[in-house]
């Protein structure tokens, strides 16, 4: 059993994805989780239904909010959205690296204001594989495309990246030890069975595998939100993170 300090550290490495249709359902889940988790990810489905109110309500309860809007527009529009997210109180905010250097640079400049969220560049969605990339005209492998976009994001002043577990080791090596790497596509040990949590994410790993390869934070949705006991499912994942973190330090 890791010491309590390691478990406290693990709470900063897990974001629960509130991929739910409205504020009522989201806060019902938050109530069931209690103080088990510290970070919540608010994505497009919930944000479009509840707006900044859900971010503010989570913040009022003392939680950190990862606002996953994957902004992708002209530079001025994205910069304005970053300023709006700052007013809402988000701690993390995603933009699409494929929006290009000018867009990311504008976002980074907007995020220099006090209280701004740290920016994460989404590289290649975990739902995409080589065949799907080829379908939109990208002949590079997922790993090659992830690395290309990550380097562009880093050069544009972005704090970190979102990538699948398959690329985290590569990005940790290429972007350095201080880059924030946030990893979706996480399935707990013993439960990564096709069809159980949906098969839209194709590049997945367990919490221990992702931490061992250099992940800064893991995003977990359905393995927690669809569990019979979400708090217990979250505690099991936090324990797996803590164990992996401790092993990495030995």
> 217: part of which helix (H) or strand (E)?
strand 217-220
Of 23, 28, 70, 151, the catalytic one is 70
Compute φ and ψ for 204, nearest 5 degrees.
-125, 170
Task: List all residues 6 or more positions away from 183 whose beta carbon is below 8 Å from its beta carbon.
Answer: 162, 163, 164, 165, 168, 205, 210, 215, 217, 218, 219
Using alpha carbons, select from 47, 39, 55 the residue that is nearest to residue 20: 47
Task: List all residues 6 or more positions away from 179 whose beta carbon is below 8 Å from its beta carbon.
Answer: 154, 159, 160, 161, 171, 172, 216
CA gap 95, 7 in Å, rounded: 30
Give the length of the chain. Answer: 250
41 given a catalytic annotation? no
DSSP state of 221: -
> How are beta strands 14-17 and 180-183 bridged, if at all?
unpaired
CA distances from 56 to 65, 160, 203, 225 (A): 9, 24, 32, 21
Side-chain half-sphere CA neighbours of 6 within 13 A:
15
In sequence order, which ranges of 89-212 are alpha helices (DSSP H)?
A: 101-110, 130-135, 142-155, 168-175, 207-212
**Residues identified as active-site:** 70
């Amino acid at each position: 059993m890791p010491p309590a300090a390691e478990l406290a550290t693990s709470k900063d490495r897990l974001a629960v994805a509130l991929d739910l249709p409205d504020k009522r359902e989201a806060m019902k889940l938050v109530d069931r989780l209690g103080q088990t988790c510290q970070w919540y990810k608010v994505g497009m489905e919930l944000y479009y239904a509840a707006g900044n109110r859900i971010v503010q309500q989570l913040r009022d309860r003392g939680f950190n909010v990862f606002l996953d809007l994957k902004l992708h527009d002209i530079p001025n529009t994205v910069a304005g959205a970053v300023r709006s997210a700052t007013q809402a109180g988000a701690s993390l905010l995603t933009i699409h690296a494929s929006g290009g250097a000018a867009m990311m640079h504008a976002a980074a400049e907007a995020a220099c204001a006090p209280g701004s969220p740290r920016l994460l560049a989404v590289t290649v969605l975990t739902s995409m594989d080589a065949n799907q990339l080829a379908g939109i005209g990208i002949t590079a492998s997922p790993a090659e495309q992830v690395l290309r976009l990550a380097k562009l994001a880093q050069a544009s002043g972005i704090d970190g990246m979102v990538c699948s577990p398959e690329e985290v080791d590569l990005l940790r090596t290429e972007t350095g030890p201080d880059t924030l790497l946030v990893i979706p596509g996480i399935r707990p040990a013993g439960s990564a069975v096709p069809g159980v949590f949906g098969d839209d994410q194709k590049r997945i790993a367990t919490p221990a595998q992702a931490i061992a390869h250099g992940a800064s934070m893991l995003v977990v949705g359905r393995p927690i939100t669809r569990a019979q006991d979400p708090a217990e499912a979250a505690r099991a994942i936090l324990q797996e993170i803590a164990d992996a973190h401790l092993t990495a330090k030995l």
